[in-house]
């Protein structure tokens, strides 16, 4: 076999284009895309996975490797990978948002921690929900499911044959409403309970104005918030399963499977 320029360009294109799609998913997916994982480890994992799936991917048929068409193809692969990885971020951030809502309503928002994934300060309750949802993501083999999605996307969205239409972007944007709806429904029970507690404090202040409501109410509110969050923790798994199923359905729509 002669290694001509066309053969070398074909081999490079068959590696570079799938690699950019897989690497974009790994860099943006929850867990694997965390800042705590060195970039070299993620890059090596993307290279190994690309080499493993290359025999099953159809040929790209790129005529010129260095051209504007190839640049556009690479950009398209990056967008596809980021879109799938962004779905996992939406699922996990749903429960982080719910934890932040609960923390602000119960007075626990003063305790904040640095999120190692994003590098931002988030309430401790939100960080707890983030860790819990991430563990459930790993327990349900979410990383394997999305790696399977990215491999299957080479059949449903072949390179250079099918471009993403605007409906795919619209589906992803519209799905964001489920993030806020699920976060609100998960935090609804603690919010309602804290509303009743604050209402009782208002009646107490009206009946006995000489009481220092701030000195009494603040520790009671935080303690009640912790108890209510513990009593309603059983709803977490139910909401996560529902949100996870929605994420799977959205991913199937994005890659047209």
Give the model confidence (pLDDT) of 59-104 as tens digits: 777 777 777 878 888 888 898 889 888 899 889 888 888 888 888 8
Task: Please name which of 201, 78, 92, 188 lies closest in space to residue 138, comparing C-alpha atoms.
Answer: 92
Which DSSP category does 164 fall into?
A: P
Model pLDDT for residues 29-68, shown as the tens digit of each residue? 888 877 778 888 888 999 999 998 888 887 777 777 777 8
Cα–Cα distance for residue pair 155/148, rounded to 1 Å: 12
Tally the domains of the chain: 1
Model pLDDT for residues 107-124, shown as the tens digit of each residue? 666 666 666 555 666 677
Full residue range of the structural domain in which residue 71 is found: 5-254
Per the CB < 8 A criterion, the answer to whether 18 and 54 are in contact is: yes
Task: Please name which of 11, 146, 30, 46 lies closest in space to residue 96, comparing C-alpha atoms.
Answer: 30
For the entire predicted model, the pTM comes to: 0.81
């Amino acid at each position: 076999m002669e290694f001509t320029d066309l053969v070398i360009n074909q081999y490079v294109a068959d590696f570079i284009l799938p690699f950019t799609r897989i690497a974009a998913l790994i860099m943006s997916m929850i867990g694997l895309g965390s800042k705590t994982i060195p970039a070299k480890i993620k890059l090596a994992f993307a290279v190994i996975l690309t080499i493993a799936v290359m025999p099953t991917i159809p040929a790209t048929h790129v005529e010129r490797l260095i051209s504007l068409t190839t640049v556009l193809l690479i950009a398209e692969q990056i967008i596809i990978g980021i879109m799938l990885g962004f779905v996992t971020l939406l699922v996990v951030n749903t429960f982080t948002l719910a934890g932040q809502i609960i923390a602000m309503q119960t007075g626990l928002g003063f305790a904040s921690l640095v999120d190692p994934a994003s590098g931002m300060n988030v309430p401790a309750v939100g960080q707890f929900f983030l860790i819990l949802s991430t563990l459930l993501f790993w327990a349900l083999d979410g990383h394997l499911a999305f790696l399977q999605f990215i491999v299957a996307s080479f059949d449903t969205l072949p390179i250079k044959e099918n471009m993403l239409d605007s409906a795919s972007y619209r589906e992803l944007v519209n799905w964001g409403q489920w993030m806020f709806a699920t976060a609100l429904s998960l935090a609804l029970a603690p919010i309602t309970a804290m509303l009743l507690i604050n209402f009782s404090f208002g009646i107490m202040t009206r009946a006995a104005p000489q009481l220092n409501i701030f000195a009494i109410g603040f520790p009671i509110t935080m303690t009640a918030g912790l108890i209510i969050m513990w009593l309603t923790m059983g709803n977490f798994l139910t909401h996560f399963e529902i949100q996870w199923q929605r994420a799977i359905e959205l991913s199937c729509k994005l890659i047209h499977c």
